[in-house]
Amino acid sequence: MNIIPLIEAPFNVPLKIIEITGGVGVRRRLLTMGFNRGDVLELDSRAILNGPLIVRNVTHGTRTAIGRGVAFRILVFRADEAK
């Protein structure tokens, strides 16, 4: 199982959140917006010049733009390879 920050993850594959690191403020915000351990995410696209990512939360059916700094703190692994 290869744990990587969301920012380095490939597009359009299921990614499972294993941990959210960083400051309390960001962690709480992500939690309340529906980013929990175990949720499955998929990366949709990324803006130019290292801009934010569009992250699809497959578990909840939401879509969120997440800045680079925040995406660095969400640790995930590839759910399709874990099997």
List contacts with other proteins (CB under 8 A). 24-34, 36-37, 44-52, 54, 57, 59-70
Element (H, E) at 43: strand 40-46
Q: Which of 51, 54, 50, 55 is nearest to 17 (CA)?
A: 55
Nearer to other proteins, 5 or 34 (CB): 34
Closest contact distance (angstroms) between CB of 49 and other proteins is 5
The span from the CA of 58 to the CA of 53, in Å, is 15
Q: What angle do CA 69, 43, 63 make, to 5 degrees?
A: 85
- Cβ closest to other proteins, residue 1 vs residue 49: 49
Shortest Cβ 16–other proteins spacing (Å): 14
Residue (2 or 50) nearer to other proteins, CB? 50
